[in-house]
Structure 1
C-alpha cells in the first residue's frame, strides 16, 4: 500500500515558495518565515498569489510532488505536473471502455449506489447518536427516501436517469442538512447548497473541502496510471478532470460533510473565522483556513477499516485505494469495480 505522506498547505496569498537544496523555503515580504523538507511531502496546495519559483516547480516534477494552485475560495486554478507515467495498455483500455455505454452505466451505478448508501448512513448515524436533539421524523423521512432511491438504481438503463435519481436524493439530503447542526445553530444556518462563490460560511467550508477531496482523487488516479480527464458519468470537458469528479461522489458525504459538521458541532470553527465580501460571497479568514487545514490533515491520518480490502487504511488513502481498485478492474484482475461503502 502506498504510504500516506503529508500535504503542505499555504493559505496566505502573500506567501512565496522557493527551493533551497532539498527544502522548501516559505517567504513573506522576501523574508524566510519557514522551511519544510521535501522528502516527506507528496503534494503542495497553495493559495499564494505571489507564486512559486521555477526551480521548485522543476524539483516537484522530478520528485513527483503534486503542486496545485487554488484561489481564496478553494477553487482549483492550475496544477504543475511532470511527464505522464503509467501502463499504456491500461490507459488504452480506459479510453476504449469510456465509449462503452454499458460499461459507463455499470460503473456509474456502483458509484451512485455508494454515494446514496453513504449519505443514508450519515443520516442514520445522526439519528442514532443525536436523536434526542434532532427532528428525528424529518431526518428519517429523508433517509427512507434515499433508501427507496437506492432500490431504483438497478432498474435504470441510462445515465441521464441515474443522474436524475442522484439529483433528487441529494436535494432531499440537503433539505435536512440543517438538522445535523447541533451547536452554533444561530451562526451556521444551512438553507441550500450554493457555490461559485459560496454565499454563507457553511457552503464556504463545503466547497473548500470538496476541492481538497477532488485534488486527492486527481493525484490518486494519476499515480495508478489512469487518466483523470476521461470521465464515466461526468461528461468530458477541456481542462476538467471528470473521472476525479465521478469517483469523489462516494466520499462527499462521509468525508467532507461529516468533517464540516464536526468542525461546527465541536466548535472548532466559529463565525469569527469567516468574512463577507463586497460581492456578497463569504470566505474563510486566514486563521479559519489554517484551522480547517490542520484538522483536515488529522482527518486524513485517522484510520478506518476498508469495507472491501478488509484492512486498516487511513482516510486520506481511500481515494488511492479506489483508484487502484478501478485500475485492477480495467486490467481484468477484478470482476467489477468495488465502490466504497462507509460503515
Structure 2
C-alpha cells in the first residue's frame, strides 16, 4: 500500500524495525512489508531513521504539493538496471522505432478508454447508451487514422498528439455527460482544476505519476529520456510518455466515486482560479486508490496486483529494448 501522511503535525519515525506514525494523541505501527511508498502531502515530520528504514526496504518517499504533483523524493542512489537500457532509449528517441513505441502506448491508451466507456454503458438508459456508442465510434475512427501514421517522431509528433487530443475530447465529454449534472465539466483543466471532477483526476494522476516513475527506475528505464514528449530541464518526459495506458485506472476510480455518490462539495476548497482537494477529499481518494491498486487480477498468465501490472509492463519494455 501507499502510506499517505496528510494530517498537519504528523510525525513518522522508526520503532523496533517498523514505522510508527504519530498523529495528535494516536500512534500507529506499520510493517515495512505493507508499504510500497510513502507520500507526504502536508506539514509533517519524518526522522532520519525512518528515511533510512525506507531506503533499506526499497520504499520511495515522495513529497506532493496540494495538487498531488511531486515536488521531490527520497530514493536510493542505485541504477535500476544496466546503462545499456538507457543508451537504447536515446538511440530510438528520434527514430521510427521510437515512433512505433509511442504509437503502441497511445493505442493501448485508446483501447483502455474504449473499454472503460463500454463498461460504463452497461445498465444505462437507452439515451445514454446511444450517446456512448456514438462517442466510441468517433474514437475508433481516430484510432484507425493514428495506426496509419509512420515516420520519424519529429515529423509525426504533432499528428500523433492531435489524434490523441481529439480522442481525449470525445472521452472526457462522455464522462462529463455521465456524472450528475451539478458536476458537469467542459474538458480538462489542470493547476488549479476548475471543477470537482478534474480536481480528483489531477490529484489521482499525480499519485499515478509517482507509481510510473518508480516502475521506470526499477526497470532501468530513464524517466527523463522522452520520445513523444520532448526533453526539458528536469522534465520527466518518458514518464509522460509511458503513463498514458494507465490513466484509465484513475478515471475508473473517480467515475466510481461519482457513481456511488461519494463526492460532495465539502471535500473541496476554493482557491484563486479554481478548486483544491481538502483533507476530507484526499482521504476519500487515497483510500479508493489503495483499494483499487491492491486488487488482484489475472495478468500475463499469473495473478498479481493491479499496481504490479505497471512494473511487469516496464520490465517487459526494458527487455524489449535490449532484445532480451
Give the TM-score, by structure 2 length.
0.91
Question: Which one of the candidate residues 129, 132, 138 is aligned to 2:125?
Answer: 132
Whose helix proportion is higher, 1 or 2?
2
Question: Which residue of the partner structure matches residue 64 of structure 1?
Answer: 58
Q: Is the 8 A contact 2:90 2:225 kept in 1?
A: no
Give the drift of 1:241. 2.0
How many angstroms apart in 2 are the aligned matches of 1:68 and 1:28? 19
Q: Which runs of 5+ in 1 are unaligned?
A: 1-5, 334-343
Summarize the Cα distance change of 1:186–1:271 in structure 2 as closer, same or farther, 3 Å threshold.
farther
Q: Is the 8 A contact 1:43 1:65 kept in 2?
A: yes
Give the drift of 1:32. 5.7
Q: Which runs of 5+ in 2 are unaligned?
A: 151-155
Does residue 1:146 correspond to 2:139, yes or no?
A: yes
Question: Which residue of the partner structure matches residue 3 of structure 1?
Answer: none
Does residue 1:213 correspond to 2:204, yes or no?
A: no
Question: Which one of the candidate residues 225, 237, 240 is aligned to 1:242?
Answer: 237
Does residue 1:120 correspond to 2:114, yes or no?
A: yes
Give the drift of 1:180. 2.4
Question: Which one of the candidate residues 313, 316, 333 is aligned to 2:304?
Answer: 313
How many angstroms apart in 1 are the aligned matches of 2:233 and 2:181? 42
Secondary structure of the residue aligned to 1:39 is: helix
How many angstroms apart in 1 are the aligned matches of 2:194 and 2:200? 11
How many angstroms apart in 2 are the aligned matches of 1:133 and 1:25? 53
How many angstroms apart in 2 are the aligned matches of 1:101 and 1:33? 54
Does residue 1:111 correspond to 2:105, yes or no?
A: yes
Question: Which one of the candidate residues 159, 162, 166 is aligned to 1:161?
Answer: 159
**What do the CA deviations read for 1:272-307 (whole angstroms, capped 9, x no partner)?**
322223x1421222122112211211101212333x
How many angstroms apart in 2 are the aligned matches of 1:99 and 1:148? 28
Give the drift of 1:107. 0.3
**Worse-superposed segment, 49-58 or 225-234:** 49-58
Q: Is the 8 A contact 1:69 1:76 kept in 2?
A: yes
Does residue 1:291 correspond to 2:289, yes or no?
A: no
How many angstroms apart in 1 are the aligned matches of 2:6 and 2:210? 16
**Alignment length (residue pairs):** 319
Q: Is the 8 A contact 1:18 1:26 kept in 2?
A: yes
Question: Which one of the candidate residues 201, 210, 217 is aligned to 2:196?
Answer: 201
How many angstroms apart in 2 are the aligned matches of 1:328 and 1:212? 26
Secondary structure of the residue aligned to 1:48 is: coil
Summarize the Cα distance change of 1:65–1:200 in structure 2 as closer, same or farther, 3 Å threshold.
same
Give the drift of 1:232. 2.2
How many angstroms apart in 2 are the aligned matches of 1:205 and 1:37? 29
Q: Is the 8 A contact 1:86 1:226 kept in 2?
A: yes
Question: Which residue of the partner structure matches residue 76 of structure 1?
Answer: 70
Give the drift of 1:186. 4.2
Question: Which residue of the partner structure matches residue 38 of structure 1?
Answer: 32
Summarize the Cα distance change of 1:162–1:283 in structure 2 as closer, same or farther, 3 Å threshold.
same
Give the drift of 1:225. 1.6
